[in-house]
Structure 1
């Protein structure tokens, strides 16, 4: 295993993440992460004053109202009890059947350790569970890293729109899922190194767990050889499914209950 692969493996094993709904008490952390994230990725075309104005406008006094809105979703990622990132999404349309991921911000110190892609996956799942039948993602056209992030995880550009930030108008790229399978499953695949092995995690094939979903992992990107279940809570493949369909992660205790009748669960 290479040095950086080993570092990422240690980060996953010893610093498991929790993804949950945001609360009023998360407001300061969300503002701080949004500020640091924008300053890290956007200062080439947004000045600091514009960023400060935008943070106050989006996450200031109106934040409590945003959290209370039934069509708005804020998810936060916690690592070791500290907020490492958040997503802001919404349901739109007359029947609230389109999910829009407006912002996905990760603390610069946690970029590159799977925080962003896991937050993307869980946000998508939350929107679908809330009734969305289509997912759109938005990212400023000038943010090269953000555009590459969506392209690398199963989305393709479908259009553009104008967005106001401070007193200026910017162009946002609109992304939609590009590789839905024939059965409607999301085909986004993530290549990871776990326990010295390269695996391919299919985020479209998930099983609900008590702490986070389990995802199907394959030995190859073509998904012909199913290998293991990948725990979305701690990034471990040290788990197994029994004959009743129960899965338990030996690393963090995440569990999936039996998928058919079992006397022990009656």
Structure 2
């Protein structure tokens, strides 16, 4: 799985992923004509201009050489106090296998790196799957707002990243090298290319497995006595440190 920033050359494929995703998850309350109208408004010329601006972040996820999904976010506030995840779409053909949560994680990392102090997620209230996704991955509902789509008004739930003592509560179950591991994204150490995340053998996070490299999605790494970690696959490195500090 590879994640990269979107460019204006990707707009047509972004629109098609959004179309497939909306038609898969939203047709219970959005008809096809409304979806088509919304896509033209959201991903037309104005979107290309937004991509070139400093406040919009769009990330694409690729799997097996195909674009599988994208996230669209914005930085708001006084340099910046909020990173808002507006859309996170995974093409129906690529759902499952943890792509959604890993795209969420990379989007969160990017927003924090760009200066956001807090992460919010937005999802239409009628999208049961989308709401459950945020609840399952460390977000709490903080409020609601009205949004207009094609001249109709809908309710959107606003989620805020949880503040548990352990840090961000998102945990992902992955199959790596024929073994099930549980990656805790709230326990992280900053690396040279991407954070390393604590990995466990059990979901209750009591039996430690090692470290999961956020850059190449492997657990093939080593730590020395000074706390340095180096990924044997991609060369991602964590410097020596006196203590473990979560990348929050």
What is the TM-score of this pair, normalised by structure 2? Answer: 0.89
Match in the other structure for 1:38: 22
Give the 3-state SS of the residue equivalent to 1:240 in structure 2: strand
Q: Which runs of 4+ in 1 moved over 4 A?
A: 208-212
CA distance in 1, matches of 2:82, 2:205: 29
Which residue among 198, 203, 206 is the counterpart of 2:185? 203
Q: Within the alignment, does 1:166 sit opposite 2:146 as a pair?
A: no
Shift of 1:258: 5.3
Q: 2:184, 2:199 within 8 Å by CA — same for their partners in 1?
A: yes
Match in the other structure for 2:230: 247
Match in the other structure for 1:105: 89
Is the deviation greater in 197-206 or in 51-60?
A: 197-206
Q: Which of structures 1 and 2 has the larger relative contact order (alpha carbons within 8 angstroms, sep 6+)?
A: 1
Match in the other structure for 1:127: 111
Unaligned runs of 5+ in 2: 242-248
Match in the other structure for 2:172: 190
What pairs with 1:1-266 in structure 2 (closer than 5 Å)? 17-181=1-165, 185-209=167-191, 212-243=194-225, 245-249=228-232, 253-257=233-237, 259-260=239-240
Shift of 1:79: 1.7
Shift of 1:150: 0.5
CA distance in 1, matches of 2:2, 2:190: 14
Aligned residues: 240
Shift of 1:209: 5.0
CA distance in 2, matches of 1:158, 1:35: 28
| RMSD, matched Cα | 2.0
CA distance in 2, matches of 1:114, 1:23: 24
CA distance in 2, matches of 1:20, 1:193: 23
Match in the other structure for 1:8: none
Give the 3-state SS of the residue equivalent to 2:197 in structure 1: strand
Q: 1:211, 1:254 within 8 Å by CA — same for their partners in 2?
A: no
Unaligned runs of 5+ in 1: 1-16, 262-266
